[in-house]
Structure formats: C-alpha cells, structure tokens
Amino acid sequence: MKPAHTGSSIGILRVERYADLEGALEEAFRHDAKVVVEKALPGVRELEVGVLGNLFGEASPVGEVRYQAPFYDYETKYTPGRAELLIPAPLDPGTEETIQEIALKAYRLLGIRGMARVDFFLSEGEVYLNEINTIPGFTPTSMFPRLFAAKGLGYPELLKRLVELALE
C-alpha cells in the first residue's frame, strides 16, 4: 500500500492481514489523495536501471538492491549498512538485456526527457516493471549516478551531460 506521488518509500506499508488494511489506507492517504495497492510477489529481487537522454535514451547497467527488511522502506534506504547496492546485478545476460529493453521502451513511450531510474521486480523468473522515477536520488552515492559510473560516466560528466540534454 503506497501513496501514488511520494518518494523515498514515505507512507508505504506492507499489509499482511486484512485487519491491518484500514490503518494502512489511512497512513497512505495521509500523504496523498491517490493510493496504489500492489500485490506482493514471492521472492522478489529489486532491480534498477538508469536511462539518460531525450528522444532516445541510453541504458545503464542493471543494479540490484539487497536488504533484510520486509520491503525497501525509508529506514532501509537511508540508514547506512541496511542495504547493499550491487552494480552490475548478478543476472544472466538475457535477463539484463530484457530489463534494459523494457526500460528504454517505457522511457520512449512515456515521452520522458533527461533522465529516469526505472525500477523492476524479478520474481520467479518473471520481470515486472515497478515504477519510473523521473527525479531519482542524485547524490554521488545514489543508485542513478552509481549506475552510470559503472558504465564509465563519472559524476561530473553525468552532470555535464544532463545540462547538455536540458539545453537540447
């Protein structure tokens, strides 16, 4: 259960029992007038790919977020040592290529410009597009810049490229 327009996992709750549904809805609606309810998937791996560009984006390598919490919540995201970022994600080449292709297709279809981080779930061999974040975290330690650093585009060069894309 999550607010539709917030970030950083604010207002998100995992509902395990029907009795907890009303409280989770109330919490989500405290943060937004629109709420998203998603079915939990078994054995989920969280994968992310950066896309950079205007009409035709370029995809970064795929990264994976690993953590011990029930889901990737605010505390896990922002407490050092609670999550591990693996770049590149340990995937077979076909799965990595599929995720990059889906990310680029979604980016084009939605008309996104500049940058985005496209988040996926991998569950029981199936790839699910979870969300597209058009204003991803952008500190030097955030996933988006780290994904492009793995591709050889360092933080200063990434900033320069984004300015060029904005001017374009």
**Residue 117 φ then ψ, to 5°:** -110, 125
Same domain, 55 and 84: yes
Residue pLDDT, tens place only, 129-152: 999 999 998 877 788 999 999 999
Same domain, 75 and 107: yes
Question: Which candidate, 38, 94, 100, places its Cα nearest to that of 63?
Answer: 100
Q: For residues 52 and 165, is the Cβ–Cβ distance under 8 A?
A: yes
Question: Looking at the 3D structure of the chain, how many domains does it have?
Answer: 2
Same domain, 53 and 119: yes
Same domain, 75 and 128: yes
Q: 115 is in which domain, residue-wise?
A: 45-167
CA dist., res. 42 & res. 51, Å (int): 27
* pTM exceeds 0.95 for this model: no
Same domain, 81 and 10: no
Residue pLDDT, tens place only, 1-32: 889 888 777 888 889 899 999 999 999 999 99
Cis peptide before 90 (omega within 30 of 0): no
* Position 24, amino acid: A
